Copies of this chain bind each other. A is one copy, B any other.
Amino acid sequence: MQYSARIYITLRPSVLDPAGVAVESGLHQLGYQEVAGVRIGKYIELKLNSDSETTAKEQISQMCEQLLANTVIENYNFELIPLS
């Protein structure tokens, strides 16, 4: 069965995010004073063939641990959508 996975990788809350600070400052300069707490992460989409949803979830967790996320400083989350 084929699945579409949406993976969200975010910096852990205790880790500084200089890019987020820069974007927040840019938004303030454009006049969006009401914005706060900007954090920038990664969004990865992929397609996966797998026997079952459980296997697919395990595979994606492993991919995140091994390659996609740096678990020392990042958290990950994902959604799995069956395609067909």
Contacts and interface: CB of A to CB of B under 8 A. Distances in A.
Interface of A: 8-10, 20, 23-24, 26-27, 30, 32, 34-50, 59, 63, 66-68
Nearest to A40: B44
A38 to B, nearest CB: 5
A48 to B, nearest CB: 6
A33 B59 CA distance: 11
Given A35-B47, A42-B40, A44-B39, A30 B66 contact: yes
Contact of A41 (B20, B37, B45, B67): B45
A27 B30 CA distance: 40
Contact of A63 (B32, B39, B44, B49): B32
